[in-house]
Amino acid sequence: MAVLLVIFNHLGVPHAPEGRGILTFFVLSGFLITWTLLRESDRCGDVSIRDFYIRRGLRIFPAFYVLWALHFTITWLMQGRLSASALADYATAFFYVRNYRRAVSVHPHQYLGPTWALSIEEQFYFIWPWLLRFFQKDLRRLTYLLIAIIVAADIYRIVLFFRFHVSREWLTFAFDSRVDHLLVGCLLAVLLKRGVMREFWALMTSQIWISVIVFGLIVASIALDGQYGLAYRFAVGFVVDPLLTAVLLVQVIAFAHTWIWGWLNWGITRYVGRISYSMFLYQAVTNYWASHIFKDRSKFVVVAAAVSLAVLLGSLSYYAIELRFLRLKTKFVRGGSILGQSAAPGLSSPLEPEPSSVTA
């Protein structure tokens, strides 16, 4: 769903929320990465930083660098000598600092522009596993530290916007102004692992209509963002929306087999989730193709074509490139599967994805 929201927004679908797909992706990613590491700590008594980075490399690098090489080669063949700005785009994407390129440079070229989100993820990987490993035996202190960093990041972003009038680009793309969204997912995993706030989670998962209310609050926040603009987004939306997303994540796990959320476990939904990383990588290309090939057709046709092309290229990337590397990940998992049998103690529905079906 996150990758489809990205595609819809980039195609200009009416009412498609800007940045909502990436925000969801950040929270989910922080949760999955942390839960995986906590399970490893439980099984083996420690977290292997080396194995973590090998798994991350096997998951992310092959598909990304194939796209990078194809994109660069085709652009060079079609345009000839590339400008300094274009070369800077490719170089910063290659080294996963594309987010700061977009944060500080307003320029006409946006080669591999969507990879700014992957840059933030990669920067997160350089810090979080070490921090979690240090506090793995004291999750209570880690909880307090996470809350402190999240609150500090929220205050920092608000001060930058209202006091120093920092640009929208910096507050949107810089790691320091978005790290709290990843850390909310981390905090969720730590809280569930500790088994705290049981009364709260019991309430949130007691009735299915409560999940509808949470979803409605997310939609309302998106509407307020559209109404009040950047002031709401950076001061309220970026604070509240990740928390609501974390709560909804627990609810859709708990209600995984109900009529209202069961579609998230349909075969086709799981398949799109399996190839969603590649779909995200190629969506800028497939959006461009669909918009030009069907430029005289309705928006519905353009969107349907873009999604179909993204699924096609995503599937090709997954089966031709990614799958062989994903199979190697099992050699670097100590003491069991990548994900455990249950994502959260006390929830009625387990989280049991195939390891290869999850972006993490």
Residue with tokens 């785009």: 89
Alpha-carbon span 329 to 231, nearest angstrom: 43
Exposure of 345 by Cβ count < 10 A (0-12 exposed, 13-18 middle, 19+ buried)? exposed
Rounded average pLDDT over 103-116? 81
Tens digit of pLDDT for each residue in 31-70? 999 999 999 999 999 999 999 999 999 999 999 999 999 9
- What is residue 142's predicted lDDT score, i.e. its pLDDT? 98
Tens digit of pLDDT for each residue in 134-175? 999 999 999 999 999 999 999 999 999 999 999 999 999 999
- What is residue 343's predicted lDDT score, i.e. its pLDDT? 40
Q: How confident is the model at residue 106 (pLDDT cuts 50, 70, 90)?
A: confident
Backbone angles phi, psi at 14, to 5 degrees: -55, 135
Tens digit of pLDDT for each residue in 4-25? 999 999 999 999 999 999 999 9
- What is residue 334's predicted lDDT score, i.e. its pLDDT? 78
Residue with tokens 């195939």: 354
- What is residue 339's predicted lDDT score, i.e. its pLDDT? 46
Rounded average pLDDT over 233-262? 97
Rg (CA), the chain: 20
- What is residue 350's predicted lDDT score, i.e. its pLDDT? 34
Range from 20-29, 110-119, 255-264, 316-325 carrying the lowest mean pLDDT: 110-119
Closest CA relative to residue 109, chosen from 132, 86, 127: 86
Six token digits for residue 163: 């006091």
Alpha-carbon span 322 to 59, nearest angstrom: 7
- What is residue 244's predicted lDDT score, i.e. its pLDDT? 98
Residues 253/344, Cβ–Cβ less than 8 Å: yes
Backbone angles phi, psi at 16, to 5 degrees: -75, 120
- What is residue 80's predicted lDDT score, i.e. its pLDDT? 87
Q: How confident is the model at residue 303 (pLDDT cuts 50, 70, 90)?
A: very high
Tens digit of pLDDT for each residue in 305-342? 999 999 999 999 999 999 999 999 989 987 655 444 33
Tens digit of pLDDT for each residue in 160-214? 999 999 999 999 999 999 999 999 999 999 999 999 999 999 999 999 999 999 9
Alpha-carbon span 133 to 48, nearest angstrom: 9
- What is residue 163's predicted lDDT score, i.e. its pLDDT? 97
- What is residue 287's predicted lDDT score, i.e. its pLDDT? 96
